[in-house]
Chain A
């Protein structure tokens, strides 16, 4: 916890706390862009039997073009993932970064604490750290899932080279993994992320912190009490 957190005053006198550095905000935009393009060009290949697939492929100028776009955006996604992991490695080694998204034992306790609160066994939810377990699950999911997509994607892109190193059936297995992992990622995003960042009554219509980079002090106190206590020890009862 060596990183210094920026706190600034808004025009109306209230305070807001930095949650994402500009680099992370740009990363999120890159992920949005590549993810959407990858889904739009990849799913019609997975669901080739449906009429909407033919329509989508036509919009991209045919299967050959869609595949080219898919591969280019896949490579951008891959390089970004590498850059992301490298930035974390370098940041951690140089003590400029805290691993605030890495799951800890507290998060597992929080899962049960939250469920107990949902089931009215506890009167209050647990005090969450900077990122709660729901957000960490999604982050870890996209990093690990992203790694699966990158590795299997590379196998499918260069099957001839891969066959010299791995058994041939791994290519067929990579195809199953690539389309299944894509389905999983899409569903988690469409259900979990859209709920957590848009439709959850706590943030509706939208949690803007990933775009503005800042969260209001009030919201931080309510949703990430532990982080609030760390930043404002004097104001915590």
Chain B
């Protein structure tokens, strides 16, 4: 009995400490005042173009959101001080959203500046008002924890990028992702979340192999799926890989585009290459740049294999011939030089 009492007392004590730490009653009291009006449906804002937007805020959703216990209404709606609110002139609801988006940077400055480098912000700046800003992806009053379910991320991107999303869903990555696999990439794993780059730019294409390498150079992960863990090293050892890396370092566009992962494997439509599909399609992939080459040309690319005596013996023989020859010759020459010097030294 005493134990139970003590436990109860402790629980209350800890809970009250947390309550105080998170701002306690004061913030909710202020939110409560706003919710006196905004907690009820029915009222709406009217914009210059005649459209309306409901000003209802779901009190429960807000309380459960990440900001629920930390922020209060006027932390974001800073220009509101009295009741009734000073009327503002805005074209439409989108206008209001775009203006309101600036408020996030007051706390989330690092993410906000990253967004300034993104293709989304670039489009917004160019006048495309549909381009997403913070709240379009994160929501507003119902923002949930950072640990968003990964599939939720896909749905958010997919709500605008419908075609790409449909293609992705049929790909080897998409199928597994939809089945709840956490190893395969969702949109943001390749494109990033805030500083999303323009994927049509040459520099994105040149650096894209590093995106694939994040997983496909991961020995553990590749072993789990029976995939070749040497795809990155074998690509870089090849002419295309070495060139891509050099071009990427130059930060300027090459005269001719050069093949990276996606040029043979596809982008959002990537399928499994197990079972010979790759070799069946490779000639077409080669011919996109090397016009009218014969089918034998494709053997110049070792399909991410390391040369061995069974596979590509000519490459293997040349490689090992030099691996043996070079050290032997050089050591012989150095020995010869040292003996010469030694003899000249002893002649005295």
Pick the contact of A64: B255, B302, B330, B336 (CB < 8 A). B255
Provide 19 A-B residue pairs closer than 8 Å at the C-beta atoms, listed in order of the A residue.
A48-B242, A57-B246, A57-B250, A63-B247, A119-B339, A160-B290, A160-B297, A164-B294, A166-B296, A167-B296, A167-B299, A169-B300, A169-B312, A169-B315, A172-B314, A176-B307, A176-B315, A184-B322, A184-B330
B residues lining the A interface (CB < 8 Å) = 236, 239, 242-243, 245-247, 249-250, 252, 254-255, 290, 292-294, 296-302, 307, 312, 314-315, 317-319, 322, 325-326, 329-330, 333-334, 336-337, 339-344, 346
Given known A48-B242, A63-B250, A184-B329, contact A164–B296 (CB-CB < 8 A): yes
**Which one of A1-9, A13-21, A188-196, A208-216 contacts B?**
A188-196
Pick the contact of B340: A58, A118, A172, A187 (CB < 8 A). A118
Q: Name which residue of chain A comes closest to B255, CB basis.
A: A64
Q: Name which residue of chain B comes closest to A119, CB basis.
A: B339
For B307, list chain A residues within 8 Å (CB): 172, 176
- Contact between B318 and A169 (Cβ–Cβ < 8 Å)? no
Interface majority SS (helix, strand, loop, mixed), chain B: helix
Instruction: Give the docked Cα–Cα distance between A150 and B301 (Å).
Output: 22
Given known A62-B252, A168-B298, contact A177–B290 (CB-CB < 8 A): no
Interface of chain A residues 134 through 171 with chain B (CB within 8 A)? 134, 156, 159-160, 163-164, 166-171
Given known A49-B245, A184-B329, contact A172–B297 (CB-CB < 8 A): no
Given known A176-B315, A176-B319, contact A48–B297 (CB-CB < 8 A): no
Instruction: Give the docked Cα–Cα distance between A159 and B292 (Å).
Output: 12
**Size class of the A contact interface (CB-based, 8 Å):** 35 or more
Pick the contact of A177: B297, B318, B333 (CB < 8 A). B318
For A134, list chain B residues within 8 Å (CB): 336
Interface-centre pick from A53, A173, A192 (highest chain B CB count, 10 A) = A173
- Contact between A176 and B318 (Cβ–Cβ < 8 Å)? yes
Q: A118-B339, A169-B314 are in contact. List 8 more A-B contacts (CB 8 A).
A: A57-B250, A62-B250, A119-B343, A168-B299, A188-B329, A191-B333, A192-B337, A201-B344
For B317, list chain A residues within 8 Å (CB): 173
Task: List 9 tightest A-B contacts by C-beta distance, closest first.
Answer: A168-B299, A180-B322, A171-B300, A163-B297, A118-B339, A160-B293, A173-B314, A118-B343, A168-B300
Interface majority SS (helix, strand, loop, mixed), chain A: helix
Instruction: Give the docked Cα–Cα distance between A172 and B344 (Å).
Output: 46
Instruction: Give the docked Cα–Cα distance between A173 and B297 (Å).
Output: 13
For A183, list chain B residues within 8 Å (CB): 322, 326
For A118, list chain B residues within 8 Å (CB): 339-340, 342-343
- Contact between B249 and A54 (Cβ–Cβ < 8 Å)? yes
Pick the contact of A168: B297, B330, B333 (CB < 8 A). B297
Given known A118-B339, A168-B296, A168-B299, contact A48–B246 (CB-CB < 8 A): yes
Interface-centre pick from B294, B298, B340 (highest chain A CB count, 10 A) = B340
Interface-centre pick from B252, B292, B333, B344 (highest chain A CB count, 10 A) = B333
- Contact between A191 and B330 (Cβ–Cβ < 8 Å)? yes
Pick the contact of B318: A120, A173, A184, A201 (CB < 8 A). A173
- Contact between A159 and B330 (Cβ–Cβ < 8 Å)? no
Distance in angstroms from B256 CB to nearest chain A CB is 8
A residues lining the B interface (CB < 8 Å) = 44-45, 48-49, 53-54, 57-58, 62-64, 115, 117-120, 134, 156, 159-160, 163-164, 166-173, 175-177, 180-181, 183-184, 187-188, 191-192, 195, 200-201
Pick the contact of B300: A48, A63, A119, A172 (CB < 8 A). A172
Distance in angstroms from B294 CB to nearest chain A CB is 5
Q: Name which residue of chain B comes closest to A202, CB basis.
A: B344
For A168, list chain B residues within 8 Å (CB): 296-301
Instruction: Give the docked Cα–Cα distance between A195 and B330 (Å).
Output: 13
- Contact between A191 and B334 (Cβ–Cβ < 8 Å)? yes
Q: Name which residue of chain A comes closest to B254, CB basis.
A: A64
For A192, list chain B residues within 8 Å (CB): 333, 337
Pick the contact of A163: B254, B294, B314 (CB < 8 A). B294
Instruction: Give the docked Cα–Cα distance between A44 and B340 (Å).
Output: 34
Instruction: Give the docked Cα–Cα distance between A119 and B254 (Å).
Output: 57
For B249, list chain A residues within 8 Å (CB): 54, 57
For B242, list chain A residues within 8 Å (CB): 45, 48
Distance in angstroms from A72 CB to nearest chain B CB is 16
- Contact between A180 and B290 (Cβ–Cβ < 8 Å)? no
Instruction: Give the docked Cα–Cα distance between A46 and B334 (Å).
Output: 24
Instruction: Give the docked Cα–Cα distance between A184 and B333 (Å).
Output: 12
- Contact between B333 and A120 (Cβ–Cβ < 8 Å)? no
- Contact between A181 and B252 (Cβ–Cβ < 8 Å)? no
For B255, list chain A residues within 8 Å (CB): 64
- Contact between B299 and A58 (Cβ–Cβ < 8 Å)? no
For A63, list chain B residues within 8 Å (CB): 243, 246-247, 250, 254
Q: Name which residue of chain A comes closest to B291, CB basis.
A: A160
Instruction: Give the docked Cα–Cα distance between A170 and B314 (Å).
Output: 7
Instruction: Give the docked Cα–Cα distance between A177 and B317 (Å).
Output: 10
Instruction: Give the docked Cα–Cα distance between A164 and B330 (Å).
Output: 37
Q: Name which residue of chain A comes closest to B314, CB basis.
A: A173
Instruction: Give the docked Cα–Cα distance between A192 and B337 (Å).
Output: 8
For A166, list chain B residues within 8 Å (CB): 296
Distance in angstroms from A137 CB to nearest chain B CB is 9
- Contact between A160 and B292 (Cβ–Cβ < 8 Å)? yes
